[in-house]
Amino acid sequence: MKNSIPTLEKLDRVFNPRSVAVVGDKQALGYMWLKSLTSFKGRVYSVQIDPNELPGIEKLGVPNYLNLNDIPDAVDYVIAAVPRGVVPAIVKDCIRKQVGGVCFFTSGFAETGTEEGIRLQRVITELANEAGLLVIGPNCVGVYNPRIGLRHNPIQTHGEGGPVGFIAQSGTHATMFTVVGARHGIRFSKSVSYGNAAVLDSTDYLDYLKSDDDTQIIGIYVEAVKDGRKFLSILRALTGKKHVIIWRGGESGEGARATASHTGALAQSSVVWNALIKQCGVIKVDNLEELIDVVKALLYVKPATGTRVGLVAMSGGQSVAIADTFARAGLQVPELSPVSYDRLASFFNIVGGSYRNPFDVSSSFLMSDNAIGNMANMLDVLDKDPKIDSIVLELFTIISPFSKNKNNPDPLLNTIAEFKERSKKPFITIVTAGYNETLAAEIRDRLLEKDIPSFPGFERGARTLKKLADYYKLRQGQSLN
């Protein structure tokens, strides 16, 4: 009998399970699934019939059963890592058990392009659709919900959640964004990798995250969608309500199509995706780094109101480089108002420095007796100047700008944090590595502890500010040119 619960309700059960069963975890996988679930706040069960695997599972303290239907408890979410030929049998077990949904880590289906793979995938689709079983994948890693410790990789963070949801066709991207993103201060509500989309497609997960109150920012990694019109209409409904960022993969693989019109010849798939992005007020990114940068900016940077930047660099050479990079990204580096120059002249040492915009603070910060006071004053000048929309501060990374002992309050860090708090303008820092990666990472972490966003290099900072400025402009209904 077909289960008639609406898809969104079923998804809610799967994203917030109270019990999870792992079918087929094994030594060869390093018991990856069961280890990922050591953080899970609900009940965990294992289903494994191979006697050689049982001691390993027992050692993890997880009760094992020979069949899903032997588990004396309701099962909300099933993760199956079984050989592909066994998948139809597991689908049937899940239907009988009336589980909330199942994710198949197993690959070897339509993605192989083989007759057997395509046939097996069709079997999954037909069995699941007939019974109303929710299937994630196959060929994916499924759901992540850090608040309840539901993970698909043991290195994912758990406990603390956040407002960012992620939908990824690729399991690697789902893992990388959640793991690398966490190092950049991004906290997640939910994420899902959905692989071959045999039953549910990106559109279904998007519909779910649209209605999920915990999710305010939605990232999507997608190569293709099945129901483009529905995808478009959900995105349109999200415009202005939640931030949506799309990373579209596979753009380079698209060839020309045979068409009979000028329009058809020019309407390549990447062009249409770009149209969708403009129509729905979505932010487009091209890789993991851009995705992280943009989400970080949405979380930690105040909305941009324009494209004029005030730039503070640590030396003469860097001040030229930062100005060039920000200008090349399409931002303006204007002269300041006369009143700003009057204020700067009162404390800024122009021997070994300059403050036209960009600022070279060698003499007034790096080699000054009043470094902290000068820094606060410089930032305040930029904050008060009506010709400046956003403020960028480069931090020196050859030696740490902060006190060595992380536990001691640092005057510079506090000054920057206080400035960020009182300024109404978007503010970012640039922490370039290069000489000492470990030190750069430490500086980034200390900034992040104070909710100060940093970007690894002028270019990433510049591109992010430009993307955000374009985005907020588009949201106001103006066109880009």
Partner 1 sequence: MTSKIITSALKDGRTVLTEVESKQLIAQAGITVVETKLAQSKTEAVEIAKKTGFPVVLKVVSPDIIHKSDIGGVKLNLANATQVGRAYTEIMAAAKKASKKADIHGVSVQKMAKPGVEIIMGMSKDAQFGPVLMFGLGGVFVEVLKDVAFRIVPLVRRDASQMIREIKGFPILQGYRGQEPANIAKLEDMLLKLSDFIDKTPQIKELDLNPIFAYKDGAVAVDARVILESQ
Residues in touch with partner 1 (CB under 8 A):
224-226, 228-229, 231-232, 259-264, 266-267, 269, 271-272, 274-276, 278-279, 477, 479-481
SS3 call for 346: coil
SS3 call for 361: coil
In angstroms, give the least distance from the CB of 328 to partner 1: 19
**Are 111 and 196 within 8 A, CB to CB?**
yes
In angstroms, give the least distance from the CB of 269 to partner 1: 7
Smaller CB separation from partner 1, 262 or 404 = 262
* CB neighbour class for 399 (10 Å; exposed up to 12, middle 13-18, buried from 19): exposed
Instruction: Please report which helix (H) or strand (E) contains residue 293, including its range.
Output: helix 288-300
Full DSSP string of 56-115: HHHHTT--EESSGGG-SS--SEEEE---GGGHHHHHHHHHHHT-SEEEE----SGGGT-H
Closest by alpha carbon to 70, among 45, 106, 35, 34? 45
CA 71 centroid distance within chain: 36
Sheet holding 164-168, edge to edge: 142-144, 188-193, 164-168, 217-222, 243-248, 283-285
Smaller CB separation from partner 1, 59 or 257 = 257
Smaller CB separation from partner 1, 271 or 320 = 271
Length of the chain: 481
In angstroms, give the least distance from the CB of 229 to partner 1: 6
In angstroms, give the least distance from the CB of 265 to partner 1: 8
Distance CA 447, CA 426 (A): 16
Smaller CB separation from partner 1, 248 or 446 = 248
In angstroms, give the least distance from the CB of 474 to partner 1: 8
Closest by alpha carbon to 310, among 346, 328, 334? 334
SS3 call for 221: strand
Smaller CB separation from partner 1, 407 or 479 = 479
Residues 103, 107, 110, 111: is their CA dihedral positive or negative? positive
In angstroms, give the least distance from the CB of 232 to partner 1: 6
In angstroms, give the least distance from the CB of 325 to partner 1: 24
Smaller CB separation from partner 1, 155 or 266 = 266
Smaller CB separation from partner 1, 132 or 330 = 330
Distances (CA, A) of 481 to 178, 247, 478: 34, 22, 10
* CB neighbour class for 405 (10 Å; exposed up to 12, middle 13-18, buried from 19): exposed
Smaller CB separation from partner 1, 38 or 269 = 269
In angstroms, give the least distance from the CB of 7 to partner 1: 20
In angstroms, give the least distance from the CB of 257 to partner 1: 9
Smaller CB separation from partner 1, 4 or 263 = 263
